[in-house]
Structure 1
């Protein structure tokens, strides 16, 4: 039985627990649980998350860090960089490929004891190979905000393939909020089990074809011409021009990416250090009462990393014919040695979590759903074709 909080705590949030929808994020803004330093833009509000905005200054640091339990992020920055060396983002600045930056965000938090938060890069950020993580004061982990946290938020940003131009207000990562009952305070795994996923699949298909579950939905990579035609992926070029993260549909594909063509043996050899955009074999649909996240199937299964930006909003993949309608785009980087991927090889899994309530506006129903119905697709910055 779920233990409710006292009426005085979150009495206008309703009786349900889980990931909070857009309408509750709007309520958090009105209640000053989320404290934006400037007015929130409509485009920041997603079905189950809030896009975070870069502030006015960036700090280039020698290496990534976490502040630890006793320090703030600014304590660490004062020891690493001089304030006069801060980079102004007021009128835009270039973040160089291979460098690490820490950037205070325009959103601060004042969470109650019953709400925690977690973050991930936006889909477009991952597809540009920009490594981005959230940092909070007195924390020993990235991308997690402890319940009852009060304070600023920071983004660690490290462009890997392209140098990028950003400015105050640019949006690279997003945050989602989880409402907990008192019995969940020590829980770390909120994913729902395979049995419940089977029941969901009976009501509305989660995937086209067979349902393959292993503590979540198994996702396989598509490398054959049957899935995408001759082009089955893209590989980032080594020495491309600077890319502005706020310019949509402004760049030619061939200026930044090399096409990867299907081979007769339906294989792809990943070169160490190269970054690839691939796509899943499966077409997916995320039901309105669930959200999902891409996680590694098993770190021991291959010499590669997949999917920086692994969050899927409720409604992703919905199609008029009620069948799952969108592939998962896979951001893949090989590690120390060349590695052979084969068509249909398991590359990750989707784990699902319950929404506290369905969003009133699902992914694909708003004005900023850039990847609904996608197949193999680069970020919104590029003209495909």
Structure 2
């Protein structure tokens, strides 16, 4: 009765532009499961770009369980950053969470900044790993001299954060939108960052956040270094036996600009 739960699409689900929401009986919000709930869960599955094949047992969403208020306030976050260096910049913005900006320079990825999804492609089996050619589903986006990118309405993009971030093993994090008043676009479907993500002790040395970007009804211009989200950190009840990147088949440890596990590198 003292535990609540929240759901998100898995990283591999979000990177396919498949939007999933979990619904529980009698609740008033999607993806929120109230304390003491006992009953079925339902999945709303909405592929936005690619046709996808799912089977019984396909894993599309994930649930995080919480008790009490574990979110770090600004003082606790600053203290943690001072000891663990949560983000690899000297002037980190920690107000309301660790600020995450978009990388449109192309300096860390051979002159290109991301991928735009193609339309009218073949079907993707969500349970098939490394089974598809990148060029059959994605168009690479080259960096522009002015460090900008125009998001076309209804198109889906994979971009990466300018910063490398890490989540120490005693903590978890969640990406939250920066400010909806800045523009009508979404930057992250799968918001959970597990303990050990990017952490040096788990083989990370910092990992850039991959951004799943979709503009809404109007074109929108993103600029290099523009803040697009914030990482809110929470204290775990105990350190996990295995961190992200260790023995659990983690696909995105020490990642840069990376597509989902379904595509051949």
Please give the TM-score of this superposition, normalised by the length of structure 2. Answer: 0.96
2:107 & 2:75 partners in 1: Cα distance? 32
Give the corresponding residue for 2:48: 160
Decide whether the 8 Å contact of 1:227 with 1:281 is kept in 2: no
Aligned-residue Cα RMSD (Å) equals: 1.4
Give the corresponding residue for 1:329: 210
Decide whether the 8 Å contact of 1:205 with 1:324 is kept in 2: no
Give the corresponding residue for 1:277: 158
Kindly state the Cα deviation for residue 209 of structure 1 after the two structures are TM-superposed. Answer: 1.2
Question: Structure 1: which 5+ runs fail to align?
Answer: 1-112, 185-189
- State how 1:233-312 maps to structure 2 within 5 Å: 233-312=114-193
Q: Which of these residues, 132, 150, 158, is aligned with residue 38 of structure 2? A: 150
Off by >4 Å, runs of 4+ in structure 1: 320-324
Give the corresponding residue for 1:121: 9
Helix, strand or coil: the match of 1:228?
coil
Give the corresponding residue for 2:194: 313
Helix, strand or coil: the match of 1:226?
coil
Question: Structure 2: which 5+ runs fail to align?
Answer: none
- State how 1:11-30 maps to structure 2 within 5 Å: none
1:159 & 1:362 partners in 2: Cα distance? 30
Please give the TM-score of this superposition, normalised by the length of structure 1. Answer: 0.67
Kindly state the Cα deviation for residue 118 of structure 1 after the two structures are TM-superposed. Answer: 0.9
Helix, strand or coil: the match of 2:108?
helix
Give the corresponding residue for 1:58: none
2:225 maps to 1:344: yes
Kindly state the Cα deviation for residue 192 of structure 1 after the two structures are TM-superposed. Answer: 1.2
Helix, strand or coil: the match of 2:40?
strand
Aligned residue pairs: how many?
264
Decide whether the 8 Å contact of 1:270 with 1:340 is kept in 2: yes
Kindly state the Cα deviation for residue 324 of structure 1 after the two structures are TM-superposed. Answer: 4.3
2:91 maps to 1:197: no
